[in-house]
Structures are given as C-alpha cells and as structure tokens.
Amino acid sequence: MLEMNNQYNQIRAKVLKQFFDGTLEQNADKIPFYIIPKSRVPNRCCIYKERAMIRYRIMAMLGINIETDDDEMKSLSEYVKEVLLEDKPPVPILTTISTACSACPPDRYLISDACRGCFARPCLANCPKDCISFINGKAHIDESRCIRCGKCEGVCPFHAVVHIPVPCEQACPVDAVKKNEEGYVEIDYKKCISCGRCAASCPFGAIVERSGLIAVVKMLKAKEHVTAMIAPAIEGQFPGTLAQIKSALLASGFSSVVEVSQGAETTSVHEAQELMSRKENKLGYMTTSCCPAYMEMVDKHVPFLSEKRSSALSPMGYTALWCKEQNAGTKTVFIGPCLAKKVEAARMKSVDGVMTFGEFASLFLAKGIDVREMEGSDLGDTSLFEDCREFALSSGVASSVLRRLENPQDVEVLSIDGIDKKMFRAMKIWEKRAPEAALIEVMCCGGGCISGPGTVVKPSVAKRLRGGNKAAAPVKAMREPITRR
Amino acid sequence: MAKREKVAVKICVGTACFVQGGADLLLYDEFLDPIVLAHCEIEGVSCLGKCKEADSKESAPFVQVGDIIHGDMTEEKFCRLVTEAVHA
C-alpha cells in the first residue's frame, strides 16, 4: 500500500510545515486541494471524495475522534484552532471513517469459473456441513450452511474455490472489529487492544489512528526542554546510523536523545530476577510485559494471565522515569513503531507524548532534514545496554533476559511471534493447561516491533539495515547477496 | 547479449525518498530479474536534488537510470525502466 502511505507522509509533512510557519489555522482547509489537484486520476470514485478523505485524515492527525466529533459544517481551521488551544489524550487511538468504508460483504467462500465439475469432487467429499451441491455440472456453496472452514479451498485441484475475506475483521486478533447494521466498520473499544492491525489491513483506509503529533510539535515550537526516547526498532528505519539519527533529532528541535534500550536493560534485569524468584517459589511460567498490546489483551480478554506477566515496567516506562530523574522539568516523548504505546503512555504520568516512526519521518520532511547528510553525534557509553537493542526483534527480549541469568540453559523459552486469531485462542487454553516453558516472550506483531504499524520501511528492509552501521551505507549491505551469485 | 558497459542505476536514499518508498526499492535483488540484474550496477546514493525543485511534477522516490532521473517510482516501474535500459 505504497501510495496510501506516501499520501499520509505528504499530508503530515504539509500540515507540519504550515504549523511551524504559523499558518496552519489559516491554510488548513487548502491542504486537501494541494494533495489532490484537479489533474489527479482518482483511485476512489472522484477527486472530491478523495479530498474529503484527506480532510478526515487531517482530522485524525489533529487527534480528533472522527466517530464522535465529526461535524461536517465545521471547517478544518476551526478544528485546528481548538487543537492548538488544548491537548486531549487521543484515547481510544483508533477511529473509523465510515464514508471511506466500502462495506465489504461478509467473509465467504465462492466457487469460481475455474470449477471443472470433476468426477472426484473432493470439495463435496470434504465439506463437513454438506453445503456443496452440483448445479449444471459445477459446484455451488449454500451460504446459509457454510461455516467458512476453508476445507474445500484446500482440496480443490483447480484452485476454483476463492476465499473473499473482510480484511479488517480477519486482521483483528480479538474480534473487536465488526460491521454495524448498515454494513460499515465499527470497533468495539471494550475489546480493542490497540494493536493497529485493522488500520494497516484496510485497503480503503477506513480505519485511522488518532495522532498525538500536534501535542509534541507544540512542545518543540514553544522551545520546551523535550527529551526524545527512541525505541530500539529505530535502527534501520532511516538511512543513517543511530548517531546520525540522534543528530537529526537534535536538529529538528529536541533537546536531548535517550535510547529506550537503556530502559530495556533495566526491564531485562528485573525480569531475570523475577524469573528466578518465581522458579524458587514454584509459581510456574512468567510472560514478558513489554508489549503494550499484549498487556491490553490480558486486561481485556485473558485476566488469568495478569499474575503470570512480569511486574517489570516496559522499557519506555523505565527510560521515562530515568529522564525525569535526570531533569524533572523535561518533557518526554517516546518515538517508536507502536500504536498501543499511546495507550500505555496515556496511563503514565512520566510520558508526555508518543510519536510513530512514520510521524517522525514527516517531521524530517517538513523541516527538510536529511539523516544521511548529518554529522553523527556522540551516543555516549552504550556498552551496558547495546545488546538490548534486540528488544525490537522477536525472541530478542527473551535472549536479553537469559543473558542476565546465571544458568540460562535451565530456562525453557517459548516465543510468541505475533498474536493472530489462532494464537489468541491457544493462549486462552493456557488457563487450563500451562505451556511447557518457564519464560514466555510475547510480541503482538509477528517478527517483533520492527513489523509494528507505525514503521516506515518493510520489516525485511529494516532487518537488513540493522546492526553495525549498515544503514549509513545501505548499498553495500544490500549488495552482498549479489556478489555471491 | 554482447559484453558491454553495465547500466548505472542510482536509487536515491536521501531521507525524503527513503521514507516514501525508496527503502523498499533496496530489495531489488528480490524482485528484479537476475539476468537484468547482472547487466546493471545498482547503488544507493545521497539526495539527487530533484525533490527540491519547486516546479517538479514528479515526487519521491526518485531513481536515476542511465542519465535520466525518474520520479514516483514503484517496484513495477523500476523493473520496467531498468529492463528497458539493459535491452536498449
């Protein structure tokens, strides 16, 4: 969904540029016309609808809850005026644009023209509900009896069975995304764990995150002392080394930069100790507690796990406390790949703002900062927590904890690499049958934080650019596999 | 194909291009035909300067194939342009 992401970047960069120039209130209503000019060939029905969607995206960027606070009579500049006067915490962080929603028909299986009406009829033989019949020599599914098990799709030798999913519903691990009576998307916030998968999955862009960006840039513009806390996943998201990213942050107005890996070190030490004491007291398995979407999931869906998760704060939590200890007057802003972190931050007094990498990238675009051209800044002594940069990858948290144990070989580890519907069901069973492991690392996003919804580059690119200073010269790192050929 | 000079391909990895899709083009060895790949010299370069031209109709990401800078790059467009340049 390259084009959609680029559009977000463009909108955010435009809004930020106007904000720093002090002309946002005046020009906000013109931005949709800049982004969607008359000459554009529209992807939606017409340019006018596309412009209306840009308006909604700008509203989401301002942190407005579109479901409840959308007033079509109100101009964007009126919204801007309100937002500039007062910050409201953007919770719940997801909101839906019902006019963008295509009201996809319910999830179903269809027999396509590729059906040859064969003699063996494996679809018929394998259907547990006997809902396949043959009409005019071709298979036909009786919708009223189909339970959407997908068995027929798997056995057809001609691939004639097609599965037509509802992307948002399929992506949600906890069934919080539903359709209302008119067929448009609706999120059940009592169930939602703020993982952001639905927003990333919708090809129409009908689910958007409410941004906390304006609150952060307001701090920057007012020249307050703002500390940027950069998540371990940042490496590989921008074309440059960590040292260059630090310089770019300082250039864009932040007063100081702290790596969250530092707090991750504290988290690992704490979890290692807790793991040992649980083992001595025979309290069974322990899960990690750094993934905020998993924490939400425990609170809302699987409360029995609340005593199984470690009591350690997340790396962001420890880092923020440390920053406030160093300088009580500083404002702390977490910069990471995660949407659920905004929910965690809204509960914590020590974190004043959260930005995603995508939003951060727009800040660079608005200010015309090129990370690659920056002189690197001194990162200080990172030897103590360098290995904790692995927190961003699946199984990285567990290995950081193990490294802080005396006898790591005695600890059985289970890595939950991404929570989907199936994994969610499996985790519910833990109440009756404990998993055979002492330490369970839970990552809501498959692959770890580098696959988070707020990232800039594909996880496979990020993985290649991480470690050492590869991102400073992406060319060489990329070319290795070719020379071997 | 006779032995001749390789086609120079420069992918802009300035921040503006990188964050707007240029980074994904760095996976070129996954989506480009290996035969075409063997005939070109691909590198990531600092900002090509095109994004700063006010009247430019194209936008990031930019890629230079031979002497021409192309904008609004996608994987498909990249494959097509590079393949054309190699066979030219």
In which band, very low, low, confident or very high, does the pLDDT at A473 lie, cut at 50, 70 and 90? low
Q: What is the pLDDT of residues A413-472, one digit of tens each?
A: 999 999 999 999 999 999 998 898 899 999 999 999 999 999 988 888 888 888 766 555
Inside any domain, residue A484? no
Residues A200 and A245 in one domain: no
Inside any domain, residue A482? no
A459 and A451 Cβ atoms separated by less than 8 Å: yes
**Cα separation, A474 vs B17, whole angstroms:** 13
- Across the interface, of A239, A460, A481, the residue whose CB is closest to B18 is A239
Inside any domain, residue A483? no
Q: What is the pLDDT of residues A125-155, one digit of tens each?
A: 999 999 999 999 899 999 899 999 999 999 9
Written as one letter, the residue type at A12 is R
Residues A403 and A308 in one domain: yes
Distance from CA of B61 to the nearest CA of A (A): 10
Residues A81 and A113 in one domain: no
Residues A340 and A194 in one domain: no
**Cα separation, A182 vs A164, whole angstroms:** 19
Cis amide leading into A408 (omega within 30): no
Cβ contacts of A453 within 8 Å, gap of 6 or more:
A195, A196, A197, A199, A200, A209, A337, A338, A339, A356, A445
A332 and A323 Cβ atoms separated by less than 8 Å: yes
**How many A/B residue pairs have CB atoms within 8 Å?**
86
ipTM metric: 0.84
Residues A48 and A93 in one domain: yes
Contact B23 A239 (CB under 8 A): yes
Across chain A, mean pLDDT equals 89
More confident residue, A412 or A2: A412
Residues A303 and A368 in one domain: yes
Residues A239 and A308 in one domain: yes
Q: Which residues of chain B have pLDDT under 70?
A: 1-4, 54-55
Q: What is the pLDDT of residues A78-128, one digit of tens each?
A: 999 998 988 777 788 999 998 899 999 988 999 999 999 999 999 999 999
Q: Of A215, A241, A274, at which residue does a domain stop?
A: A215
Inside any domain, residue A485? no
Domain containing residue A130: CATH number: 3.30.70.20
Residues A90 and A115 in one domain: no
In which band, very low, low, confident or very high, does the pLDDT at A480 lie, cut at 50, 70 and 90? very low
Residues A234 and A334 in one domain: yes
Phi-psi region of A357 (alpha: psi -120 to 50; beta: other; left: phi over 0): alpha
| Mean pLDDT confidence for A238-251 | 90
In which band, very low, low, confident or very high, does the pLDDT at A474 lie, cut at 50, 70 and 90? low
**Cα separation, A379 vs A65, whole angstroms:** 38
Contact A479 B42 (CB under 8 A): yes
End-to-end distance of chain B based on CA atoms, in angstroms? 11
Cβ contacts of A409 within 8 Å, gap of 6 or more:
none
Q: Is A169 a residue whose pLDDT tops 80?
A: yes
Range of the structural domain that residue A50 is part of: 2-101+173-215
Contact B16 A364 (CB under 8 A): yes
- Residue recorded with tokens 């370069």: B45
Inside any domain, residue A289? yes
Q: Enumerate domains of chain B plus CATH numbers.
A: 7-87 (3.40.30)
Q: Is A479 a residue whose pLDDT tops 60?
A: no
pLDDT of residue A324: 93
Helices A213-221 + A76-85 axis angle, to 10: 60
Contact B14 A372 (CB under 8 A): yes
pLDDT of residue A469: 60
Residues A64 and A89 in one domain: yes
Please tell me the pTM assigned to this model: 0.88
Residues A96 and A242 in one domain: no
Inside any domain, residue A346? yes
Q: Does A81 touch chain B (CB under 8 A)?
A: no
Residues A375 and A343 in one domain: yes
Contacts with B, A 242-261, CB within 8 Å:
248
Q: What are φ and ψ of residue A172, in 5° steps?
A: -70, 120
Q: What is the pLDDT of residues A297-337, one digit of tens each?
A: 999 999 999 999 999 999 999 999 999 999 989 999 999 99
Number of independent structural domains in chain A: 3
Q: Is A181 a residue whose pLDDT tops 80?
A: yes
Which has the closest alpha carbon to A214: A116, A304, A88?
A88
Inside any domain, residue A10? yes
